[in-house]
Structure 1
Amino acid sequence: MKTVCIEEQELTKQIVQEIQKGEVDKAVKKLRQQAANSSLLPPSWLLKTADALEHNNWSILSEEFINMDFIGKNGYFLIIAPYRISRQCQGKVTLSAIYGKMHDNQEPSIEQLEHLIREKFGNLNQPIPVNLSFTEIASCGNVCGESGEAFIVPNGWPFPNSVCGPALNNAKEQGRRFSGSSRECIQKIFEYETANLLLGPLEDEINGERYRHVDTQVHEAGHASGLGFSFKDKNLLFQNYSYAGVEEWRADSLGFEFAACTLPAQEAGKLVAVNFCIRFGLDAHRLGGLEKDTDVYASLVSLEYLFQNDAIYVTKNGQLALRNLSYPGLLQAVELHRAQALSLTRRELNLKSPTGIFYLYKVDIHPSTQSIFQALVMERCQGLWAKLQ
């Protein structure tokens, strides 16, 4: 049995390699070969993937993706399809493949988060996207390497209603990014003790992966709150990078709120630290910059509210420093984030027309905040993320 599994894994890797080389016909043939004797991957999914590749019909994968029937008994999965990413306000679609093994990590429960959303906002307008963490085995296209996505959002796939499917969090790629340029950026941007506080949860060899997982799951719950991400996306309410950036900030901030409601302050503060490492150590340095990129703008908005909350200051050495150097203090630092996001979400639920979001989703950024962000965050890390687009 062990030999059979090894052979099947090698065949799956070969399929990913064929996609990478553009040899689609060979990949289709091997997919059908694998489906005949597969013990790790669902045969139905493999056959439908082969048909989708052959006929360029991705709708046949929709139902099994949404229901997560593409995952095998032991957590192994293979997805092959065009995947769309956005860089510098430009969409880029590439036939991509990701082969990996899911982690058994189910906290916090979706039911718990759904209860919180109904408690705070009265109703839940869309299901909370499930966040699945996995270890990558092989990949290519827009879900591969530093220039691809480490957090694979469901609406990037072309399957109808894919937004109802799971988000996939690549633990291997996330770990590589955090241990490399992201870590160095945090150490350049923040003074020594603040940087150590922020990096601590990610450098925890036992719990680091769990913290990353929980952070992304509460973030997805944030997206589901209010009118819901899928509704906004379908109604073209993210017409420019700034509206989408405020939505990202809103999801972050509601994630902090949900963490504060479900975890001890020490643990909830660690999730804030993980988020800041992502936003300031990674997202702030995307090449689109402040005038094009959603994630850069979300990072700027987060810094604005840190200053408004008097939670952060600039040292004499030109670095950012937190006033309260503890994880409960870090949770207090985002109190204004949480309050503003709660208010914004309640206001959007009371809109008479969804297009009112164009008015609501505007944040006044103080000129000094923008100057500090450009000089002490973006310019300080130039060159470290040369491949990030």
Structure 2
Amino acid sequence: MTAMVLAENKLLQEIVQNVEQNNIAVAVEKIRQQAAKFCQLPTSWLLNTADALETKNWSILSESFINMDFIGEDGYFLIVAPYQINRKRQKNVRLSALYGQIHPNDEPSIEQLENLVREKFGTVREGIPINLSFTEIASCGNVRGEAGEAFIVPNGWSFTGGVSGPALNNAKEQQQRFLGRSHKCIRTVFETETANLLLAPLEDEVNSQRYRHMDTQVHEAGHGSGLGLDFKIKQKLLPDYSYRGVEEWRSDSLGFEFAACILPPEEAGKLVAVNFCIRFGLDAHRAGGIEKDVDVYASLISLEHLFKNDAVYITKEGQLALRNLSYPGLLQAVELHRAKALSLTRRELNLKNPTGIFSLYHIDIHPSTQSVLQGLVRERCQGIWTELQ
């Protein structure tokens, strides 16, 4: 790495630090200073960022973000803007900054996924959101560390006006979560052989990043199927945690279906394993609980379908276990997920009035499933995730 690049990296990290310390005038000066040089970031994006910081008119960043013109040479990017997260049903908006480098990973392609959506549903109502995996170099605000988001959705930024633009998947933070507390949770909730099967793709030093990227991209294809997540948000069709939880579960399950279509069963099953590590090692333990949190509710629906499909059972030790301990077996374990999500999506496309989603997005949960998630999953791991927001 040349001295010029090292100096630029240092300056960009200082800008993030200035934003964190609320030294906005200093940050603006340094951004303009950097824009005046030949650098790894697009000049127009830097100048618009400086203007937005001074005027609070964040919309001037929108078009460049949607078109991914904020990414510079070798994948480097800097985003400075307010970002919103939701915790315990409360909105939290903070000025945030993120400096990182995008990974060159385009598998599966958006074209391939859109063709699958047309094949399954006859139409693509919305473009499939693009997922970009990246390595974080510096960050602050609501996109930093465990207190922030590892998967940074486009509609969280103040300048998108919806969900347009790429989702950003923080590979470094995801890895820390997966191989830290989430790893402990999976080994606590599931019996040993099941836990080994679920964790192996994330422990694969060569392919773990690829598996995480593919899992999030097929999930985004799920959001783009049917009426589309953007449309649902704009029409206020997902008014509370339960509707949004169904939407998350639907997208997970369609992701399994798409993975089964484009990958061999062994590889598709590994994406299911990654999803289960997220849902049962991380999302199920969020502080809002079953009656407040979107991701906890999505995990609950997933567990309900696993029991209905007779894919898991409870051991004498009170742990969950898969009946078929193989990756093709994992793909079979979510057959009911896939069938129900396909049916649900086709039904929403046939609604005469979109508000029919309010009755369509109601999934009955057996009381025993709720007890299992609360007792054998959440309470058993309380000491591991006590600080999770």
Report TM bin, short chain: over 0.9
Provide the rounded CA distance (Å) in 2 between the counterparts of 1:325 and 1:19: 49
1:114 aligns with 2:114: yes
Deviation at 1:53, TM superposition (A): 0.6
Deviation at 1:237, TM superposition (A): 1.1
Q: Is the CA contact (8 Å cut-off) linking 1:65 and 1:162 kept in structure 2? A: no
Provide the rounded CA distance (Å) in 2 between the counterparts of 1:50 and 1:281: 40
Provide the rounded CA distance (Å) in 1 between the counterparts of 2:37 and 2:386: 43
Provide the rounded CA distance (Å) in 1 between the counterparts of 2:384 and 2:56: 38
Provide the rounded CA distance (Å) in 2 between the counterparts of 1:233 and 1:386: 31
Deviation at 1:336, TM superposition (A): 0.1
Q: 1:49-88 maps to which residues of 2 (within 5 A)?
A: 49-88=49-88
Q: Is the CA contact (8 Å cut-off) linking 1:62 and 1:162 kept in structure 2? A: no
1:13 aligns with 2:8: no
Provide the rounded CA distance (Å) in 2 between the counterparts of 1:27 and 1:302: 45
Deviation at 1:88, TM superposition (A): 1.1
Residue aligning to 1:253: 253
Residue aligning to 1:175: 175
| Runs of 4+ residues deviating >2 angstroms | none
Residue aligning to 1:237: 237
Residue aligning to 1:349: 349
Residue aligning to 1:304: 304
Deviation at 1:239, TM superposition (A): 0.6
Deviation at 1:158, TM superposition (A): 1.1
Provide the rounded CA distance (Å) in 1 between the counterparts of 2:74 and 2:83: 25
Q: Is the CA contact (8 Å cut-off) linking 2:124 and 2:225 kept in structure 1? A: yes
Provide the rounded CA distance (Å) in 1 between the counterparts of 2:385 and 2:25: 36
1:45-88: per-residue Cα shift (whole Å, max 9, x none)?
A: 00000000100001100000000000002100000100011111
Provide the rounded CA distance (Å) in 2 between the counterparts of 1:147 and 1:28: 26
Deviation at 1:173, TM superposition (A): 0.2
Long gaps (5+) in structure 1 = none
Amino acid in the other structure paired with 2:167:
A
Residue aligning to 1:193: 193
Residue aligning to 2:381: 381
- Three-state SS of the structure 2 residue aligned to 1:8 is helix
1:194-250: per-residue Cα shift (whole Å, max 9, x none)?
A: 000000000000000000000000000000000000000001111110000000000
Provide the rounded CA distance (Å) in 2 between the counterparts of 1:81 and 1:196: 40
Q: Is the CA contact (8 Å cut-off) linking 2:154 and 2:160 kept in structure 1? A: no
Deviation at 1:383, TM superposition (A): 2.3
Residue aligning to 1:93: 93
Deviation at 1:162, TM superposition (A): 5.0
Provide the rounded CA distance (Å) in 1 between the counterparts of 2:32 and 2:385: 40
Residue aligning to 1:33: 33
Q: Is the CA contact (8 Å cut-off) linking 1:201 and 1:274 kept in structure 2? A: yes
- Three-state SS of the structure 2 residue aligned to 1:304 is helix
Deviation at 1:161, TM superposition (A): 4.0
Deviation at 1:38, TM superposition (A): 3.8
1:86-108: per-residue Cα shift (whole Å, max 9, x none)?
A: 11111111110110001010000
Q: Is the CA contact (8 Å cut-off) linking 1:83 and 1:142 kept in structure 2? A: yes
Provide the rounded CA distance (Å) in 2 between the counterparts of 1:160 and 1:176: 28
- Three-state SS of the structure 1 residue aligned to 2:345 is helix
Amino acid in the other structure paired with 1:197:
L
TM-score, normalised with respect to structure 1: 0.99
Residue aligning to 1:209: 209
- Three-state SS of the structure 2 residue aligned to 1:188 is helix
Q: Is the CA contact (8 Å cut-off) linking 1:250 and 1:341 kept in structure 2? A: yes
- Identity within the alignment, %: 71
Provide the rounded CA distance (Å) in 1 between the counterparts of 2:273 and 2:315: 20
Q: 1:138 to 1:162 in 2, by over 3 A?
A: farther
Amino acid in the other structure paired with 1:288:
G
Amino acid in the other structure paired with 1:130:
I
Residue aligning to 1:140: 140
Provide the rounded CA distance (Å) in 1 between the counterparts of 2:141 and 2:285: 21
Amino acid in the other structure paired with 2:198:
L
1:317 aligns with 2:317: yes
Q: Is the CA contact (8 Å cut-off) linking 2:253 and 2:341 kept in structure 1? A: yes
Provide the rounded CA distance (Å) in 1 between the counterparts of 2:249 and 2:160: 27
Q: Is the CA contact (8 Å cut-off) linking 1:130 and 1:165 kept in structure 2? A: yes
Provide the rounded CA distance (Å) in 1 between the counterparts of 2:307 and 2:214: 26
Provide the rounded CA distance (Å) in 2 between the counterparts of 1:213 and 1:80: 24
- Three-state SS of the structure 2 residue aligned to 1:365 is coil
Provide the rounded CA distance (Å) in 2 between the counterparts of 1:38 and 1:44: 12
1:169-214: per-residue Cα shift (whole Å, max 9, x none)?
A: 0000000001100000000000000000000000000000000000
Q: Is the CA contact (8 Å cut-off) linking 1:241 and 1:297 kept in structure 2? A: yes
TM-score, normalised with respect to structure 2: 0.99
Deviation at 1:160, TM superposition (A): 3.5
Structure 1 vs Structure 2 CA RMSD:
0.8
Residue aligning to 1:289: 289
